[in-house]
Structure formats: C-alpha cells, structure tokens
Structure 1
Amino acid sequence: MTQIRGFVLTRHQQDQPDGIELRYWIKNQQDISLVSVTGQESVFFVHDAQLDCTRDRLKGLTGWRLEKVQLRDLEQQGVHALYCRSLKLQRDVIALLSAAAIPMMEEDIRPVDRFLMERFIFGGVEVTQSALSDGVVRSRFAPCEFPVTLKILSVDIETTMQADRIHSIGLYGADIALVLMRGEGVDSETLRFYPDERTLLQAFVRQVCRYDPDIFIGWNVVGFDFRVLAERADKLKVPLRLGRDDQSLRVVQSELGKWYVRLEGRLVIDGIDTLKGATFHFESYSLEYVSQSLFKRGKLIHQANDRGAEIQRLYREDKPALARYNLEDCKLVQDIFDETRLMEYLIERTRLTGLSLDKVGGSAAAFDFQYLPRLHRSGYVAPEFASGDRGIGAPGGYVMDSQPGLYQHVLVLDFKSLYPSIIRTFKIDPAGLAEGLKAAAREEDLIPGFSGAIFSKSKAILPTIIEELWVARDQAKRNSNKPLSQAIKIIMNAFYGVLGSNVCRFFDPRLAGSITLRGHQILQQTRDEIERTFGYRVIYGDTDSVFVLLGDECSDADLQGKALADYLNSWWSAQVEERFNTENYLELEYETHYSRFLMPRMRHSEKGSKKRYAGLQQRPDKEAKLVFKGLENVRSDWTPLARNIQQQLYEAVFRDQPYHDFLKQLVADLRQGKLDDQLVYRRRLRQPLADYLRMKPPHVQAAIKAEKFWQQQQLQSPYQPGQHVSYIMTVNGPEPIEQVRSPIDYEHYVEKQLEPVIDSILCFKEESLQSLIATQRDLFS
C-alpha cells in the first residue's frame, strides 16, 4: 500500500477499451505523480417521464445504461441516471437527445471533475493505492490540506511582423534567465544561438524538460506565444513535447475564438486573464501599461507603434539587444505575478472552489463544484439550463435618485457583502426553494422571498456554504492573507450572478429577485430609518451603500458615523427577528467621511446623475484624498487634458482655493498649443475596421487613416479588435497620432472636453467656463 499526498495540478480524461480513464497529475513538495483511475463511466440524468423516448432515441447504440436513482429535480420530478462507457458515446448520446428536445441534467459535468467534486477534493488530495490480487491498482481519493509550492517559468517569443517565423524565445524563472536565438552570434550566459528555427524549437523543448516547470506564464501567452509555437512546430514537423506525458503540445480554438492549451502535467496561465479574474483594473492591460503602473518600469522598446519595426531592426543589426528586450518582457511578467500575488490567489481559489488553476472566469463552475455534491446528498439533481425562466424579470441592484449638489460632510455607510448576507439571512437557495414550496412544509420553517418564492430555513444549502466562506475570509483577514481574502470575496459575490444569469443552470428569477428586491427593501428602509430617527438627509444610495448628509454643523463625523452604524445594526437585528424569526447577518459599516462632496447633475438636465460623484475623503491618518467615481477623471475615453483639469479644479473648489485665474490661463495655454501633449484620445476597437459600415466613430475614422500609413511603410497595421487607437481631433476631423497633418481643433477641446468637466462643478457656484473666458475668444480668433 502506498500513499500520495499533494495538490491536483492538472486533470485529464480519455477513452480506453475498458471505459473512461481519469488522469490526475499530483504535485507534492519534491516531485509530481500521475495517478490514473480506469474503467469509469460518465453520468447525467433524464426525467422518469422521458424514459421511453430516451430508449427509443438511443436504439442502435451500445455501451450505455439507465438506472433509477433516489433523486429528484427541483420541481420534484423523479430521474434516472444515464451512464456511458466512453466520452465519445456520451457526446453521441447528448447529440441524439438534444435533437429530440429531451431535457438532460448535469450532462456538461466532465467525469474528471465530477470524480473530485463528489469527494469534496478542492486542490489538496490524499491518494491511497493498493494492489489487488489480479494486479490492478485501486486508488482511494480523499481531501486533505496540502501547502503547495509551484515551479514557474515565464515565456515570451519574438517573431517576424507576420509571426511566420520565430526570432527568439525568452525563458525566466527562479534559476533560469536565458534567451534562445535563431541565427549566428556569440553564446553567453543568458543568450544561445541556433542555426535555424527547427533547432531553436528543439532547444526550447530540451530547456523545458531540464527546468521541469509546473506552470508557464506569459502575456497573451496562449493566444500568441504558444499558438505560434504550435503552428511553427507543426509546419516544421518538430514534436513540441512540453507536457510531462511526452506528448506534443496542442493549442485549440473554441467556437467563441478563445485559445486553449492542451498539456498534461503542466499549466499555461495568462497574466491578462488572471489579472482581470482577480478584479485588478487597469486602463490598459498591455504589458507596458501594467508594468509602468506597478513599477514605473516597462519594456526596453518604448514606442508602441514602432515596436514591431524596431524588433525587426534589432534582429538584423543587434541580436544581443533583442535578447535583452525579450528577457526583460519575461521578467516583467514574473514581477507582475509576484507583485500582485496572482499565483497565490489562484492556489487559494482552487482550494476554495476546486477549479483548475488555469480556469478563466468560472463563476458557474465554482458554484457547481461546491453546490452539486451537497445538492445530491439532499436528494436533488441540478436543473437543466435556464429551466427556471418563467418570464419574470430579475431587477438589478437598487440605485436611489440622487440629490445633486455641492455638500459639506457626507458619510457613507456600507452593508458588508450585502448579497451574500441576504442569502444567509433570508435562506435564499435553490434546494431551499424546492423544499419551501412543498405542500407538506412546516410554516415555522418557511421564510418568504419575492415573486412567489418561499424558502425552507432548515433545508437550505447555499447559506451554509456562504457561512463557511465568511468564516474563512475573516480568518484570512486576521492572518493578513490578502490573496485568500480576495478569492473568497470574488466567489461570494459571484453567487448572485450564478443565480441571476440565464446561461447558468440554477437561473431562476425567483432566486435572483429574492436577493435584489430584498436589497432594494433594505436600502429604502435604512434610508427611512436614518431620516426618521436622526433627521439627517440621505442624498444617494447605490446597491449596498447610503450617503448621509450631516451638513455644515458637524463636530465629529467619525463618531457620528459609528453611532449610526451601531444603531442601524441593532435595529436590523430586531426587525429580522421580529418579522422572520431568524438570525440577522446584515452588517452595516461606517465606511468613510467626505468633508466636501459633489453629486453632479445629468448632462443637459437638472436631475441628479447615478453612479457618478466626487469627494474629499478624510482618511484615518488625517490626510484628505480626492476620490472620483464614474467621472471623467477615471474614464479612459476622456483626454489627459480633461482628467488632469478635473483633478486640479475639484481639488481647488473642495479646499476653497482660488481657481478663476487658473482656468483662464488654462484656456489660453490650450489655444496657444502649450497643452498639445494632453489632447490625445484613446479608444478601443471592438471589431475589425471593415465591420464598421454604417457608424464610424472618431477612433475608427482615425484608424482607417492610419491603415494607409502602415501600408505605405509596408508594415502590418496594429489596429486589430481589442487594440487601442490614439488620435487627435483636428480641423479636418480625427487623425491618428502617427500621422497628424492638420491643425488641431482647439475649440473642439474647449467645448467637448473642458466645458463638461468644469461646468459640472461650477454650476453649483452659479458660474461657467464660458462666462470666465468670454473676453479671451477674440484674442485667438
């Protein structure tokens, strides 16, 4: 008998003559082991009422079987399990039943995932292996805690402009810093040359095998680097054996255009997708922009639009310089992962959800992994996709009508994880809904929802999962484990999305509405209680926050904020106990104090805007910080001019500093061409340029003009979907920054950039930009 303890790094499944083989690569501190489970079947469910139809549709197929199980769907209908001896057979069965419109439940759950899921294995695993008398090895899997350390290799390639030949491959890790270069040159400690692309690729495979990484990382590493590596290896008939099973690399594209890597025993993780999944927000996710934002350090070639041409020049004239550039890109990616603790975040996410480390997104899959095993043990199977759609709309979060104005002393009170706490308090849960709607349900066990929903207090599953995560997050905060705390926050907040999205199996407007409409009620009642009991005015509220105006006569805002939160928490506990006879998990926190606060009007309207405000936030260290939400200062589609001026003007107004002369000088400098470096617009292309037929926004017009420039240079245009276009507004319309030929239209910037930003705050002082600069126009006409 042997025992393996470790972390499930990768999982795979394949057909074998005796059934489905499940393959798990398990990483321990010193080594990695492959554990195979053979002779398995896939399983999903069909309704008892569909048995005859199912058998009729599957006539002629062999290797499947139907078996009655003691489970029901959430509408209390009995089900049969349908087992298949191969993955191919399962695909054929699903296709036949889909064509006959026969409902199926859980048919999308992969056997390799279900095997772990049903055993509550979330990352850490203990495998006990014993040999049977016939020589077969039996493996028993059980969950365990396992602190894993993974070996990382950052990879980046440089290619021709058309990516039809690889110039170099950069490799960077804990004890490797090396560039493999095609061509002639003198080898060094960090640079080695190879005569052609074939030997370059072969050297890459050798280096990977020698270094033996668990994970490859990079920037767009799947969609570009590994895709190009696979294409060139295929073209040159070089087996790119990068997996631990000695099989060649496969890179495939989904129907939606997403690229995926197929490797055994190693993962490929993209920095862009991982940053977004961990809720990091950057104006641009280019490697240059992110690294500059984090370290004030970027690529060794700085000109974005000329970077491709410069790489080609370096390859021809200065290969060591190209190697330094290539290796620096690898280092930047590794440094970003280290600074943001992305790998720690992914490991913690796997320990919580069971998701593979390289899974992008995955909110629904994370929910399934935690929820389905408990659901089965409660006697239910998950519903078919979108079966809960009853034509009832599920409203979003509540946003109060704002009261526009320029205020003094505004407090923000925030409900801590409002939607998860609503789920816990009001027992919102798919299985709890099924139990609550039973005729035999006991009234004292029931709690009402919205849109006809009734929930069982005692049979709910999701509140228990949230409670476990909540406790884990509090512990993570006490231990200063930010990656774990962030992973738990993302998972808990995603649960509402799973219940409210019609692409998820548990979609039901009664569930989503019982969360959001309860949130509406909570925010409205909180506002009413504040105004009734304390006499303060609530000037705005958004989803889980209320903005309370204390006014000019404010002695100690922090003391008042904490007193408000304490009172409201006690009041809510009493309300929940009295009305629902259950424990309250709603928790209101005093979040911040704005000594000055602006709630702007909607443009061309007297009504207050929503999700847009600014304030001078008083910090615990007694410093004041200017905060913007939804305004031009935090929006990438406004020019640096508008964003910088908003920062300076709001700061002056909030601190009661003079600003008239500053604004007049600003407009004078603009019209004299002194601020030209701040006039660049930057917008992202959402689709290919050729697809913009009827409407051609300014950035598209600029990109079309730039196409001609790049063609004249005999270079590939950088303007592809997802890329940003930088342009200037001229008297002849938008022109790309690489080819500005016409005079700048300064009055456009006064009217379209400065006025909206400046007047949004000056209107509350009964002033406007035009009234301040009216006498200046003649000087520049």
Structure 2
Amino acid sequence: MTQVVIPGFVLSRQHLTIRGQMHFVFWLTTPEGAVKVITRAERAVFFVKTIDLDAACARLRDAAIAHQAEQLTLQHFDLNPMSAVYFQTANLHFQAKQVLKDSIALYEDDIKHTDRYLMERFIRGGVWANGKQDSAAGSFTTLTATRLKPNPHYQPDLKVLSLDIECDGDGVLFSVGLVCETQQVVLMIGEPQSEDHAFYIQWVTDELALFEQLHHYFAQWDPDVVIGWHVIEFDFTVLHERAKALGIELYLGRDAEPLQIYTGQFTRLLLPGRVVIDGIDTLKNATYHFKSFKLNDVAKEVLGEEKLLMGNDRLEEIVDLFHNDKSTLAAYNLKDCELVLDIFAKLKLIDFCIRRTQLTGLELERKGGSVAAFTNLYLPHLHRSGFIAPNLAEQRIHFDSPGGYVMDSKPGLYDNVIVLDFKSLYPSIIRTFLVDPLGMILGMQSEDNIVNGFKGAKFSRIHHHLPNMVAELAAARQSAKLQGDAMLSQAIKIIMNSFYGVLGSTGCRFYDPRLASSITLRGHEIMLQTRQWLEEAGFEVIYGDTDSTFVKISGQASLQQCVQTGRKLTKIINQNWRELIAKNYALESYLELEFEVVYQPFFMPTIRHQQAGSKKRYVGQVQKEDGKHLVFKGLETVRSDWTEMAKRFQRTLFEALFSNKELFPILEQYKEELLLQKLDEQLVYFKKMQQPIDSYIKSIPPHIKALKVELGAGKLSAPKPGYVVPYVITVAGPRMYPSDLPINYDHYIEKQLNAIFSMLREFCDQPSNFHPQQNLHF
C-alpha cells in the first residue's frame, strides 16, 4: 500500500464495525473521481457528570457492556465536572444509552458519530485525506487508516442526475426517467411501439428488468448527486418499497452498496458515495418563496415552461397513458426530469448546497438544519473552552421572549419617504453586546468584566464564541459580495440570521429565553433611540419595523436630495451609536444603519374599519433604471389568498393614485367587466389544506367546503395535507375550479373590489351609493 494525500469533498458518511472496532467511511468526490475513505478505528462517546460516573459504570458492568471511562477537565454549564464514557462500537454505545437513559443524565449522546468526527476537526465539506491507497481497488480509489483534515478552499465539480418515476396508486412501477447534462433515458415497461421513434426510450419487460437497467445506468453514469421533486419522500421511497416487495436490493450506491432508507418524523436516505437532494427542500432552505412548490408552478415561474400533463387527476391520466400511449407517458416522464435539472441549474441550487456545507459542515442534502448548523459550529469551540453542551429541556427558566419592535404607524399618503435599515441587526447585536451561551454562564458567575443584557442576563467580556463566529461570517459575506458570489452571500445571510431563532428555540440545547430577549429587547432599544435622534434632527418618523425606519422627507425634495439626506442621516446615526456604545459600555459598535430606498410617493393604510395605522402593510413607488415600480408589502397584491382580479385591481388603483388620476372610474370599469364575465379566469382562490380532510369538523373554511363537495361527488380522491385547493364562489357557495355553476359576482364585488377600494375612498369623489365591504355568509 502507498501512503497518499488526496483533496476532496465529502459526499456521504457512515460508520461501520470492522473486526470489533468502529470505523468511519466517507465517500469523497475528488479531481481524480470518487474515493472511498476508511478511517482508523474511532471510539463512540457520551458524557456524564463525574458524580454519576461510578453509578453509570456499575450499571454498564451489570449489563456486560464493555466500556472505558475517563474523568475530564471539562464541566457542565452548572459547573459540575464531567467524565467521558467510551465504546469500541456504535452498537455498544446504543446499548449503553438504553441501559442508562432512565436513571442517569447523558450528555451529547444524540450527536451522530460521523458528525462529531468532522465537527471536532472543523471539517466542512472540503478535506485533505491522508491514508494508505489500496492497490487492489477497482474503478475507484480506496484509502484505509485515513486521517482527515479540513480543506476549506476545495471546490467540487459534481456530476448531477435528475430522477423521476411514474407508477400507479399502489406504487407499481411504469417507468423511470434519468437525465443528466449530456445523457437521457426513460426505462419503460412494455413492448416497443411500432410508431415510436423516441431515441431515449429503453423498453424493459417488467419491474425486475427495470431495476436491472436502473442499476446499470447508475453504475455507468456514476453520478455524485441525484436530484428530483419529492425525490426522497416519494421516488426513492417507492423504489425501495417496490424492490423490497419483489425481494431484491437496490444497489444504487457506489461500490454497488445498497440504498438505505430510515423513516421516522421524516424520511432519511443513505446512498453510499452519492447525495440525494430534493428540489422543494432546497428551495425552502435557500428562502425562495412560491405560491406553490409544485413542480409545474415552480417551472412556470422560473423557466417559463410547464409539465406535459396538468390535469386535476394526473394519476388517472398516467395510468391511462401506460395502458394506451406509453410514448406520451415517456415524454411526460422525461420532461419532469428535464424541468428539475433546469430549475437546479437556473437557480444554482447545487452551488447553494455546497456553500452551505462549507459554512456549517452539514450534509449537502440536509433538510432545514438551523439548530444542527449552530451545534456544528459552536460545539467544537465550547469543548475547547472546557465545557460540555447541556441537554434539551435542562433550562429551567421559561418565558416568551419578545419579538422584533414594530412602531405604531402614521397612516396617509406621502410624497417622499426614505427607509433606513440596520444591516443584519440581530447578528450585529450579538457581536456588539457579546451575546453568547457560554458568555452568559460565566458572566452570571461574576460582577467584573461583564455586559448587562436583558431579563437578568449578564455576558462575559472575555469568554465567548458566538460574537467571533458572527464576525467571521460577516467578513466572509462581505468578501462574497465583492467577488460576486451571490450563492455564498445568501447562504451566509441565512445562517447568521438563524442564530437568534436558534437561541430562542426549545429545540436547541443552548435555548435560554434570556439570550433571545437580550437580542430582541436590545433591538427595541436601538430602534427607539434611533427614532429619537432622527426626530431631534427635525425629521418625522412615520413607521418602523424590527430593523427598518421610515422617515418622511419634504414633499419638495427631489430624488437626488432624498438620497443625499438618507446617506447623511446614516452617517450621523452610525457615529452616534459608536459614541454611545463606547461611552456607556466601553464596547465597539458593529451596528450599521444603511440607506435602503426612496419611495416617491408612499402610502400607509389604516387598519380596516379603524382610524389607527396598520402595521407591516404599505405600498410605495421606486424609481429604477427601467422606470417606476410599485413595491407592495402585506397588501392584497402580494397575498396568496386573494384573487388575481383583486391583485390587478389594487395595482391599477395605486398606479392611478400615484399619478393623480381618478380612482372611482376604475372601480366601475372592473365591476362592469366582472358582470360581463370577462374576468372569470381571474376569480380563482388558492388555499392550502393544512390538515387531513377529516379534521375539519366544527369550522369548515370555504376551500374545504369546495373540496368536500368534489369528494362527495366522487370526482377526486382524498388529497394529503399541503394540497392547494383552487376554488371559486358560485351561487351555491364555494366550488372547486373549474365549476359549471354560475359565479356569485356580488361576492367578488363586495369581498374583493369594494374591500380594496375602501382603503382609498378618502382620495376620490365617491358616489353616495358606494358601500364598503359587508359581512357576507355562504
């Protein structure tokens, strides 16, 4: 064997028992292809308080569970000394947890062994692998007795495969589509059709033959990443269950290793040597927002393309095509694969996953993971400071931490409003005021070298990690912006902004409401002081929300003068904060107020049927290079539960208002077109079903009423929660769209047009026969 050092990026991770010892297996993608890395023997571990060590060891001896115990210099957050209990295999570790879990508190016993190995070495995706190369390896390199070190600069070039299956309602397979950058195939069960000339269809006799070819293409194309839509919860789950029913294994991993699926609160999948990434989860992780995350809706918005089948009951249509037109079914299957591949490419979702892993150390495919990311980043630093992480629910202090500060608004129509926004306010508060879990534990023990927080919190000026983590991420984000790396910048922003939520979440082991309160209440203080300084400078603040302050500027000011005023004010406020924080806290301020935008004009509505100003609802006009644009916040135009007609009507109204045109003729025109049935296609409501259909008993909202009518007529099979119901209001009440029943136009006039128009009635000469929204029942 030859000792080699190879750069690479971790694709999959698992632990194995080899000759009675635990080893970790990491598959890497490298410049030379796939590499299988097997580490030296490692030990599994959990921690107990030293006062419990003798009792824990006695119970383990009674259960004949081999272990090694060691007293440590580490301590718990309550300052009790800690000890480690080690095991040669993961199975012994699991058995020990079962024996001790009801009698002795175990710490960090829930951390996956492979995750601990990587996090303690600060490995986040990229690695240097130093091991012995197995000369007997086949198509890939194998390293044994390997040591891994971080390689933060390695950028992987991943081979991506898009997969989609078609099947009947029982999971019996019809076809599997596979598409990568240069190749495509649809494995279709059946006899070749004489009139078919599609080069991409490969006909197979049955499901067994289909699986055989699936194995062949995975081995031949050898992808690093497999993508799809619901690809874990549906496609791979169906493939796994169908293979099991047929008595075969799915050897789709590298080195012909089997697919492994774990079900629980959510489905987890292990495909050794490869990564499976779901499109919907990734879009949500990257904070994309769509009216619906169905493939067709996302493809239409992102690509301007659609699926080949779009009926309400596609399952029935797919079954029919399988029996009568398999070529069309193959084209549909292929198109779905292509749409997913193109969405990933257009939005650079693989790049986002890589960047997130490089920042947090989480797996490429990780779903959600804010708490896991925080733990990955924080725990190694905590250990090096001499502490073990607390357990969930150990925190005895519980109260609701206040949210972000929202000022009362001053409703009305303004000629000029500028918005001043604190850049990454909550991370900046963490960094400036030294908010930190360990810092609070040590700060509460001392009266010296502390920074007072809120709700009794005190933070050490010397011992802390989170402020430094924020500083590193902030610097990395600034560098990413300068280099034009939008994906990295977005990934950093998401991680930084998650820190506050994590500290206030009972699902995090570092949860303490004093931490979250010391962030949000400091934010309240900052917003109020900023408002005071602006008003002392002679400006009127009309609204503020969490980190943004809306300032009225003279109606005579030009766009350039507004911009100059905004920039001047940010310099003054930032200097004020630097001086105040240095004087009152002897700390450096990292608060940074930025000039964000000028609205010319700007409208802040009242709360409906009240005189008080609303919150989180406004519309303003901004000037861009290509012309004037309306920006809506919280109003009907940007809400998914209003019709397309209402959204267009509201936009048209504000375009007229901001151009000093009459408004009432617009209302009359929309009513006329509505009654002439010219707007019927714009009258559809879309509402998601949040619970199983049988859960709606006492209070039944309109979309569920419509759905129940359809189900009662046998026109639709019961959908799962998350199904988006399209419906209209007919003379007989809510019905799913499309409906043959006449539309109830009075409903749309009162509930949509008049409701929106009422917020602007003071800005027009309104005929006496106009009535605002009434309470209608159906």
Instruction: Tell me which interval the TM-score lies in, with the shorter structure as reference length.
Output: over 0.9
Q: Which residue of 1 aligns with 2:730?
A: 730
Selected match of 2:223 from 213, 216, 225: 213
Task: Write the deviation string for residues 521-551 of structure 1: whole angstroms up to 9, x where unpaired.
Answer: 001100111011x221111111111111114
Alignment of 1:567-586 (within 5 A): 567-586=572-591
Q: Which residue of 2 aligns with 1:31?
A: 33
Structure 2 unaligned segments of length 5 or more: list them.
135-142
CA–CA distance in 2 between the matches of 1:252 and 1:456? 43
CA–CA distance in 2 between the matches of 1:98 and 1:538? 56
Q: Which residue of 2 aligns with 1:509?
A: 513
CA–CA distance in 2 between the matches of 1:304 and 1:583? 60
State the SS of the aligned residue for 1:682: strand
Task: Write the deviation string for residues 21-78 of structure 1: whole angstroms up to 9, x where unpaired.
Answer: 2111111022111111253221122222333443454432412233111111222221
CA–CA distance in 2 between the matches of 1:61 and 1:575? 63
Shift, 1:306, TM fit: 4.1
Paired letter, 1:307: R
Paired letter, 2:332: Y
CA–CA distance in 2 between the matches of 1:137 and 1:719? 50
CA–CA distance in 1 between the matches of 2:6 and 2:708? 59
Paired letter, 1:410: V
CA change 1:131–1:326 in 2 (3 A) is closer
Paired letter, 1:689: I
Selected match of 1:409 from 405, 416, 420: 416
CA–CA distance in 2 between the matches of 1:157 and 1:513? 48
Shift, 1:13, TM fit: 1.5
CA–CA distance in 2 between the matches of 1:76 and 1:6? 40
Task: Write the deviation string for residues 221-262 of structure 1: whole angstroms up to 9, x where unpaired.
Answer: 1111111111211112232110114233233321x2x22222
Say whether 1:554 aligns with 2:557: yes
Alignment of 1:131-210 (within 5 A): 138-144=145-151, 145-160=153-168, 162-185=169-192, 188-210=198-220
Paired letter, 2:763: K
Selected match of 2:241 from 220, 231, 235: 231
CA–CA distance in 2 between the matches of 1:694 and 1:412? 45
Tell me if the contact between 2:12 and 2:270 (Cα under 8 Å) persists in the aligned partners.
no
Task: Write the deviation string for residues 648-695 of structure 1: whole angstroms up to 9, x where unpaired.
Answer: 111111221223222112112212322111111111111111121222
Q: Which residue of 1 aligns with 2:406?
A: 399
State the SS of the aligned residue for 1:382: coil
Paired letter, 2:721: P
Tell me if the contact between 1:451 and 1:514 (Cα under 8 Å) persists in the aligned partners.
yes
Paired letter, 1:398: Y
CA–CA distance in 2 between the matches of 1:630 and 1:55? 59
Paired letter, 1:67: E
Q: Which residue of 2 aligns with 1:277?
A: 285
Paired letter, 1:602: I
CA change 1:163–1:760 in 2 (3 A) is farther
Say whether 1:335 aligns with 2:342: yes
Bigger CA drift: 38-47 or 142-151? 38-47
Shift, 1:138, TM fit: 3.2
CA–CA distance in 2 between the matches of 1:767 and 1:660? 7
Selected match of 2:373 from 354, 366, 372: 366
Paired letter, 2:556: E
Paired letter, 1:584: S
State the SS of the aligned residue for 1:562: helix
Shift, 1:370, TM fit: 1.3
CA change 1:130–1:602 in 2 (3 A) is same
State the SS of the aligned residue for 2:254: coil
Tell me if the contact between 1:420 and 1:493 (Cα under 8 Å) persists in the aligned partners.
yes
Q: Which residue of 2 aligns with 1:595?
A: 600
Paired letter, 1:244: R
Selected match of 2:87 from 79, 84, 89: 84
Task: Write the deviation string for residues 463-493 of structure 1: whole angstroms up to 9, x where unpaired.
Answer: 1111111111111101100111111101111
CA change 1:206–1:570 in 2 (3 A) is same
CA–CA distance in 2 between the matches of 1:292 and 1:385? 43
CA–CA distance in 2 between the matches of 1:425 and 1:403? 31
Tell me if the contact between 1:221 and 1:270 (Cα under 8 Å) persists in the aligned partners.
yes
Q: Which residue of 2 aligns with 1:47?
A: 49
CA–CA distance in 2 between the matches of 1:706 and 1:78? 64
Alignment of 1:348-359 (within 5 A): 348-359=355-366
Task: Write the deviation string for residues 508-531 of structure 1: whole angstroms up to 9, x where unpaired.
Answer: 111111111101100110011101
Paired letter, 2:37: V
Q: Which residue of 2 aligns with 1:721?
A: 721
Paired letter, 1:432: G
CA–CA distance in 2 between the matches of 1:219 and 1:725? 20
CA–CA distance in 2 between the matches of 1:698 and 1:720? 17
Tell me if the contact between 2:429 and 2:591 (Cα under 8 Å) persists in the aligned partners.
yes
CA change 1:718–1:438 in 2 (3 A) is same
Paired letter, 1:454: K
Q: Which residue of 2 aligns with 1:708?
A: 712
CA–CA distance in 2 between the matches of 1:61 and 1:646? 73
Structure 1 stretches of 4+ moved >6 Å: none
Tell me if the contact between 2:161 and 2:225 (Cα under 8 Å) persists in the aligned partners.
yes
Paired letter, 1:300: L
Paired letter, 1:582: L
CA–CA distance in 1 between the matches of 2:608 and 2:54? 63
CA–CA distance in 1 between the matches of 2:65 and 2:765? 81
Tell me if the contact between 1:18 and 1:38 (Cα under 8 Å) persists in the aligned partners.
no
Alignment of 1:565-714 (within 5 A): 565-619=570-624, 621=625, 623-709=627-713, 711=714
CA–CA distance in 2 between the matches of 1:64 and 1:707? 59
Say whether 1:97 aligns with 2:105: no
Paired letter, 2:749: V
Task: Write the deviation string for residues 79-110 of structure 1: whole angstroms up to 9, x where unpaired.
Answer: 1112233323323333343323x333211111
CA change 1:752–1:731 in 2 (3 A) is same
CA–CA distance in 2 between the matches of 1:772 and 1:658? 17
Bigger CA drift: 309-318 or 172-181? 309-318
CA change 1:232–1:608 in 2 (3 A) is same
Paired letter, 2:631: V
Bigger CA drift: 330-339 or 379-388? 379-388
Q: Which residue of 1 aligns with 2:119?
A: 117
CA change 1:57–1:759 in 2 (3 A) is farther
Alignment of 1:736-751 (within 5 A): 736-738=736-738, 740-751=739-750
Tell me if the contact between 1:387 and 1:508 (Cα under 8 Å) persists in the aligned partners.
no
Shift, 1:448, TM fit: 1.4
State the SS of the aligned residue for 2:245: helix
State the SS of the aligned residue for 1:305: coil
Shift, 1:622, TM fit: 7.1
- The TM-score with structure 1 as length reference comes to 0.93
Tell me if the contact between 1:386 and 1:506 (Cα under 8 Å) persists in the aligned partners.
no
Task: Write the deviation string for residues 547-606 of structure 1: whole angstroms up to 9, x where unpaired.
Answer: 111142324111111111111111111111111111110000000011111212222322
Tell me if the contact between 1:664 and 1:773 (Cα under 8 Å) persists in the aligned partners.
no
CA change 1:604–1:16 in 2 (3 A) is farther
CA change 1:234–1:742 in 2 (3 A) is same
Paired letter, 1:658: E
CA–CA distance in 1 between the matches of 2:77 and 2:677? 68
CA–CA distance in 2 between the matches of 1:607 and 1:508? 35
CA–CA distance in 2 between the matches of 1:4 and 1:454? 47
State the SS of the aligned residue for 1:76: coil
Selected match of 2:258 from 217, 238, 248: 248
Shift, 1:318, TM fit: 2.5
CA–CA distance in 2 between the matches of 1:628 and 1:252? 43
CA–CA distance in 1 between the matches of 2:528 and 2:764? 32
Identity, % of aligned pairs? 42
Say whether 1:297 aligns with 2:297: no
State the SS of the aligned residue for 2:410: coil
State the SS of the aligned residue for 2:608: coil
Paired letter, 1:191: I
Shift, 1:736, TM fit: 1.2
Paired letter, 1:568: I
Shift, 1:389, TM fit: 4.2
